[in-house]
């Protein structure tokens, strides 16, 4: 199945919005620099997707708000996890570099 133009635009919007929110939350708040901040964001995404499924199951109405918010929360979680892993690897590399330079001097 080939995606339509509106589906491609929606996917690109979700990717851009997730990356922007992840960068903002990681750089501006201390809570999301810790791993439990990521877990809270993932829990929010799972809760919103379950809420979407519950609303659909009870009313048989395809409700787009919680679905879109769930996708944004889970997408933001994935982007923030990548940022967190890269930042951790860079911090570890700096520590190793410092310890090697102090040990040889």
Sorted by where each begins, the domain ranges of the chain are 21-104
**87 dihedral zone (left: phi>0; alpha: psi -120 to 50; beta):** alpha
50 pLDDT exceeds 90? yes
pLDDT tens for residues 67-102?
999 999 999 999 998 988 998 899 999 999 988 888
Task: Output the pLDDT for position 105.
Answer: 53
- 3 state SS of 30: coil
Predicted TM-score of the model (pTM):
0.80
Tokens for 96?
A: 């190793």
């Amino acid at each position: 199945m080939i995606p339509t133009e509106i589906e491609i635009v929606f996917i690109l919007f979700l990717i851009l919005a997730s990356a922007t929110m992840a960068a903002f939350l990681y750089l501006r708040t201390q809570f999301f620099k810790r791993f439990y901040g990521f877990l809270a964001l993932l829990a929010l995404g799972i809760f919103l997707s379950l809420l979407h499924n519950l609303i659909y199951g009870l009313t048989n109405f395809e409700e787009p708000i919680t679905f879109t918010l769930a996708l944004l929360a889970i997408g933001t979680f994935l982007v923030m996890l990548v940022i967190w892993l890269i930042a951790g690897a860079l911090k570890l590399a700096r520590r190793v570099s410092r310890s090697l330079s102090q040990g040889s001097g």
